[in-house]
Chain A
Amino acid sequence: MVHWTAEEKQLITGLWAKVNVEECGAEALARLLIVYPWTQRFFSNFGNLSSPTAIMGNPRVRAHGKKVLTSFGEAIKNLDNLKGTYAKLSELHCDKLHVDPENFRLLGDILIIVLAAHFAKDFTPACQATWQKLVGLVAHALARKYH
């Protein structure tokens, strides 16, 4: 059973309220594909991924990044039930998408860096610690139904 302190919940929801989900999601996914190029294996039908510039500008990457981060937003509304929130998505990523759960951890770390760059000094060590906890739990919830 996950436990969140009031402070942690505030650090999450307070920051999230200021996040542009579309921009942040697009950037996070693009950086994942740039920094860890082997993750492109899941997106062979996304068109031009031939350079960082191509990836950053790729409309399918942007759209998918927005989708992924929107789902993250759902998790934030249900911090006390991440497992339930992600049960179906977990099955999907295992059975249909065949995504190694390590990729969820990689994306989580990239998201942290995107948030850090955006919020700068406001992304304090305590804030980072809370968000690292969150992305870790989301990754765990997404991996939970794997078999």
Chain B
Amino acid sequence: MVLSPADKSNVKAAFGKIGGQAEEYGADALERMFAAYPQTKTYFPHFDLGKGSAQVKGHGKKVAAALVEAANNIDDIAGALSKLSDLHAQKLRVDPVNFKLLGQCFLVAVATRNPSLLTPEVHASLDKFLCAVGTVLTAKYR
């Protein structure tokens, strides 16, 4: 699955509009993922996952920063996220199915916070982008 020039443009524009609020979108996506897919909490036994958790907010900020970095380097996502890819393969080893779940929740976060941003075309491009990020992060698993 390849990101077309239109996809890249849509993704860059979307993150441009999200701007500084990306951190909140990240935290929102995580909160939604833990609620909708409780099995994802198994990766965070060391976290307080209660409402308003500072740890979840902090982690959401990290996740968002990575997505922004990928969007800003959309012609070479693998390069931009290489270290994160190593981390996920060697240390975190989050099962690949979970990236789809977080992707869904990120799209829902965008939909609830900025519905007008999520035209069908942008929806499609963002979905592809999030898949691409998940693929990169699991690329070195075996």
Rounded to whole angstroms, the CA-CA distance of A123 and B112 in the bound complex is: 7
| Residues of chain B with a CB closer than 8 A to A132's CB | 36-37
Q: For residue B40, give the distance in angstroms from its CB to the closest CB of chain A.
A: 12
Closest to B127 in A: A35
B115/A117 in contact, CB under 8 A: yes
Residue A97 at the chain B interface, CB threshold 8 Å: no
Interface string of B64-105 (1 = CB under 8 A from A): 000000000000000000000000000000000000000011
Q: Which residue from A34, A56, A125 sits with its C-beta under 8 Å from B36?
A: A125
Residue A18 at the chain B interface, CB threshold 8 Å: no
Residue A112 at the chain B interface, CB threshold 8 Å: yes
Q: Which residue from B36, B112, B113, B120 sits with its C-beta under 8 Å from A35?
A: B120
Known contacts A121-B112, A123-B112; decide if A34 and B121 are in contact (CB<8 Å).
yes
A112/B108 in contact, CB under 8 A: yes
Residue B124 at the chain A interface, CB threshold 8 Å: yes
A117/B118 in contact, CB under 8 A: yes
A-B CB contact pairs (8 Å), 13 listed? A31-B120, A34-B123, A35-B127, A112-B104, A113-B104, A113-B111, A113-B118, A114-B111, A118-B115, A120-B113, A125-B35, A129-B36, A132-B37
| Residues of chain B with a CB closer than 8 A to A52's CB | 120-121, 124
Residue B32 at the chain A interface, CB threshold 8 Å: yes
By a beta-carbon cutoff of 8 Å, the part of chain A in contact with chain B is 30-31, 34-35, 52, 55-56, 109, 112-114, 116-121, 123, 125-126, 128-129, 132-133
Q: Which B18-36 residues have a C-beta within 8 angstroms of A? A: 31-32, 35-36
Known contacts A120-B112, A123-B112; decide if A109 and B104 are in contact (CB<8 Å).
yes
Residue B3 at the chain A interface, CB threshold 8 Å: no
- The 6 residue pairs across chains A and B that have the minimum distance between CB atoms: A116-B111, A117-B115, A117-B111, A125-B35, A129-B35, A129-B36
